[in-house]
Amino acid sequence: MIKYAWMIPIVAAVVSAGVGAQTGPLRVFIRAGEKTHGPAGNGEHDYPTFLKEWTTVLTNGGAVVQGALRFPTADELAKTDVLIIHSGDGGTCIPAERALLDTYTKRGGGLVVLHDGMCSNDAAWFSTIAGAAKQHGEPNWARGVLKMQIADNAHPITKGLENFEFNDEAFFMLRKTPEMHPLATTEIPGKGEVVPQAWVYEKTQPGGTPFRAFVSMQAHYYKNFSQPTYRTMLLRGIAWAGKRDVQALVQKTVSSK
């Protein structure tokens, strides 16, 4: 074993480089969109406000944040660890955007998909990126008081979180993949059907590095980002998708809210 001692500094450097890539400042791109529902100020689908305010929230949490009301460029994705999609029909992507997503996830880039961001004109395809998706144009939503039930108390994102409720929108008729892992469910208002509303998904693209996705179907109303349990789950989900300690953003942002 002594004759291989010269290799120790090299191995240590490689390991250190890998650890550093996962413990340095989290680089986030927020792909938002124009507001699509209701008059200004009513809080529905207020993607521009999310872009503005959560850029500050995540920056205060130590992340390096960029974003726009459009899909990111190749250069922007190259500087991103977690792509947050919070936009109307965010899962609808033109071929060039699909190619960018493929390159991004192949290198292990993480995804966080919120609310209508998981709606796609090709849900079967987007489900392979996000674990599940809903097809645009189908009557697959209901609004009301949602009693959110934590489905996995052991996962780092939801560990220790209690069931909660708020008035928001829930989705059903999902296109699911076998690897989709539910974290929270709710009974669809007026239907009685229990459907996953938050989940995680891990996948390795052919020839690539494993990537992670965290999806939450809520946040129809912007005010719900301030609901304490939901806010904690989201902050943890962003950190987890970026392969960081799930408490990294929570400790710095929730306490200062």
Q: Is the pLDDT of residue 20 over 70?
A: no
d(C-alpha 81, C-alpha 101), whole Å: 12
Q: Rounded to two decimals, what is the model's pTM? A: 0.89
- Residue 224 within a domain: yes
Tell me the pairing of strands 110-114 and 82-85: parallel
- Residue 209 within a domain: yes
- Residue 211 within a domain: yes
47 lies in which domain range? 26-137+195-253
- Residue 20 within a domain: no
d(C-alpha 153, C-alpha 15), whole Å: 31
Residues in the chain: 257
Q: What is the pLDDT of residue 201?
A: 98
The CATH number covering residue 117 comes to 3.40.50
d(C-alpha 176, C-alpha 157), whole Å: 20
Half-sphere exposure of 86 (CA within 13 A, CB side): 33
Per-residue pLDDT tens over the stretch 132-176? 999 998 989 999 999 999 999 999 999 999 999 999 999 999 999
Q: How confident is the model at residue 24 (pLDDT cuts 50, 70, 90)?
A: confident
* CA 165 to chain CA centroid, nearest Å: 20
Q: Is the pLDDT of residue 114 over 50?
A: yes
Q: Is the dihedral of CA 88, 90, 95, 97 positive or negative?
A: positive
In 3D space, the residue among 104, 140, 99, 49 whose CA is nearest the CA of residue 242 turns out to be 104
d(C-alpha 182, C-alpha 177), whole Å: 11
* Cβ count near 232 (within 10 Å): 20
- Residue 1 within a domain: no
Q: How many domains does the chain have?
A: 1
- Residue 98 within a domain: yes
Q: What is the pLDDT of residue 254?
A: 52
The radius of gyration computed from the CA coordinates of the chain, to the nearest angstrom, equals: 19
- Residue 172 within a domain: no
